[in-house]
A = this chain, B = another copy of it.
C-alpha cells in the first residue's frame, strides 16, 4: 500500500522542469464547467477546451472540474488558457505530490488528498488539485468519481452561501468537504483498533501481529497525508494570500481545526498500535511463562518418581528391599510424599493456584 503512495510519478532524472508524466493507461479527460451567479447556474460537459473561455465571464463564478489526464494536448491547452505556471501543471499531473499550498502570481494552488472509504473497509486516496483564480476555480483529479457532489448540490441551491460568495468561498467549500471525509476513515480504523485491543491480550497470534503491522503502515501513510495538509491549510488561514478574504478565512479556520483534530487522532492511533505491539510481546512472554510452568511442574513431579521406579526395576541379585514385604507400599508412600512436597513447593511459589478459575482467566 505505502509503495504506491510513495512512487510519485516522477519524470526522468534531469528532465526539463514542467515535464508532465502521463501513463498510457490514463483516463481521457472529462471536463465539466459549473458557472453560477446569484441568479443562474450553468452546468455543462465541455468537449472542446476553447469553450472554456466562457469561464472568464464577469459577474459569475466558474468551477472547471477535470477528471483524467490521459490527453497531453488537452491538459496543455487548459494550462495555456488559464495561464498556469509549468511547475504548477507538473504538480497537478504528476500525482501524488505532498499536500501543500503555493502561490503563483495571484493564483493559489491547493493540493489536498481525498480519502474514500469503501464498504469493504478499504481506504483509497487520490490527489485533488484546487487552483483558485480571480473568478474561477479549477480542480484536477486523476480518476473520475469523487465525494464533492454535496458541494455541487449546494451550488444549485439559490439561497446557499456558496451561491452568493466569491470564488474563494467555492475553493473553501471543496477543500472543507475533502477534509471532512477523514472522519469516517479514522472512525473505521478506530473500530478495528478497538478489536485488536482485546485480542492482543486474549489471543496473540502471528496473524494478529501481521494485522497490527498492516494497521501501522496504514496509519503512517495517513499521517503522511494529514500533517502537510494541516500546514497547508494553516497558511491559508494565516492570511499569507491576499486573494482570500477575511470572511472566508474564518471558515477556513474551521477547516484547519478539523485538520488538527484528525492529525491528533491519527497520531494517537499510531501510538496505540505501537503500544499494542509492545503489549503483544508481553502477552507472548506471559504465555510462554504459563507453558513453562506446566512443563516444569509435570516434569519436576514425575521425573524423581520415575527415577525411584527405575531403581527398583534394576536386576541386581542383591537388593534386599525387593524381598521385604512392605517395600512396595513403602515406595508408594515415599512417592506420594515426594509428589506432595513438590506440589507444596510450587504452591508456595505461586505457580499453582487452588481455584479452578485460572484456566478460565486464560481464555
Chain A contacts to B: CB under 8 angstroms: 2-3, 6-8, 10-17, 85, 87, 90-91, 97-98, 100, 102, 104, 147-151, 154, 160-161, 176-177, 180-181, 183-184, 186-187, 190-191, 194, 197, 201, 203-207, 209-210, 213, 216-217, 220, 224, 250-251, 253-254, 257, 260-261, 264-265, 268, 271-272, 274-275, 277-296, 298-300, 302-307, 309-319, 321-323, 325, 327-328, 331, 345, 348-351, 359, 361-363
Contacts and interface: CB of A to CB of B under 8 A. Distances in A.
A264 B298 contact: no
A13 B275 contact: no
Contacts of A281: 278, 281-282, 285
A289 B289 CA distance: 9
Given A209-B282, A272-B217, A314 B303 contact: no
A150 B13 contact: yes
B251 A87 contact: yes
A191 B209 CA distance: 21
Contact of A302 (B201, B303, B318): B303
A211 to B, nearest CB: 10
A278 B359 CA distance: 26
Contact of A304 (B197, B206, B302): B302
Contact of A284 (B2, B280, B282): B282
Given A254-B87, A296-B294, A327-B318, A6 B265 contact: yes
A359 B348 CA distance: 8
The 4 closest A-B pairs by CB, nearest first: A14-B150, A309-B310, A312-B314, A295-B296
Question: Which residue, A100, A220, A272, A285, has most C-beta atoms of chain B within 10 A?
Answer: A285
A284 B289 contact: yes
Contacts of A296: 291-292, 294-295, 298
B317 A323 contact: yes
A191 B187 CA distance: 30
